[in-house]
Amino acid sequence: MAKRILYVLLAVLIVVDVPWAEGLRFEHSSGEMAEFARTLGQNDEVRDVSLGLLSFVFVRQEEGHVVFYRGRGWDHDGWGYIWSPGHRPADTRHLDGPWYRFRDDAHM
């Protein structure tokens, strides 16, 4: 019985902690990410980048904003962040200032 309770508590901790920890890592890393974004020229792309506490499959400047692609989640959807000081990119969720989060639905 004690093991079952421990497993349930561990599962709850993982479900609650993983998204929360991602938010903290983003908050800690966003300054360094913005500095990096300012160095990119039009259509520049850099692969396998680590900035602050986050790693990215690629970082790419496109259409006036910079995409920080984190990869695919458990549901196979691609996701990441967009730094866009000039305008809000389509199909994104605003986080703070020039920062947005996106998710590409792999099932569409």
Q: Is the pTM of this model over 0.75?
A: yes
Q: Answer whether 92's CB lies under 8 Å from 79's CB.
A: no
The proportion of the chain whose per-residue pLDDT surpasses 70, expressed as a percent, equals: 80
Residues 17 and 24: their CA atoms lie apart, in Å, by: 10
Domain that holds residue 43: 2-104
Q: Is 102 helix (H, G, I), strand (E, B) or coil?
A: strand
Residues 108 and 105: their CA atoms lie apart, in Å, by: 6
When divided into structural domains, the chain yields a total of: 1
When pLDDT is cut at 50, 70 and 90, the band that residue 35 belongs to is very high
